[in-house]
Structure 1
Amino acid sequence: MIYIINDLLTLFFLLIGLGFMLIGAIGIVRLPDTYHRLHAASKCATLGLAGMLFAAVFNIGTLAVVTKAVVTLVFACVAVPVGSHILAKAALLDRAPMWTGTLDNEWLKRRRGK
Structure 2
Amino acid sequence: MELFWDILISALLVIGGIFGLVGSFGLVKLPDPMTRLHAPTKAATLGVGAILIASMVWFAVKQGHVTLHELMVTIFIFLTAPITAHFISKANIFRDWPPEKLPKPAGEGDWAVHTADADTSKGELAVEREKNIPHEND
Query: What band does the TM-score fall into relative to the shorter chain?
Result: 0.7 to 0.9
Distance 1:14 1:41 in 2: 18
Q: Map 1:38-53; keep pairs closer than 5 Å.
A: 38-53=37-52
Query: Quick one: higher RCO (CA 8 Å, sep 6+), 1 or 2?
Result: 1
**Identity over aligned pairs, percent:** 29
2:103 equivalent in structure 1? 105
What CA deviation, in whole Å up to 9, does each residue of 1:30-67 have, x standing for no partner?
A: 2121011111110123201111011102211122x2x1
Structure 1: gaps spanning 5 or more residues: 97-103
Q: CA deviation at 1:84?
A: 1.0
Whether 2:64 is the aligned partner of 1:59: answer no
Structure 2: gaps spanning 5 or more residues: 116-138
Task: Give the SS at the match of 2:31.
Answer: coil
Query: What code does the residue aligned with 1:105 have?
Result: P
- Greater C-alpha Rg: 2
Whether 2:92 is the aligned partner of 1:91: answer yes
| Contact 1:24/1:41, CA 8 A, preserved across alignment | yes
Distance 1:78 1:27 in 2: 21
1:16 equivalent in structure 2? 15
Distance 1:57 1:106 in 2: 45
Over aligned residue pairs, what C-alpha RMSD do you find?
A: 2.0
Query: What code does the residue aligned with 1:88 have?
Result: S
Q: CA deviation at 1:19?
A: 0.6
Task: Give the SS at the match of 2:96.
Answer: coil
Query: What code does the residue aligned with 1:10 have?
Result: I
Query: What code does the residue aligned with 1:86 have?
Result: F
Distance 1:71 1:106 in 2: 39
1:81 equivalent in structure 2? 82
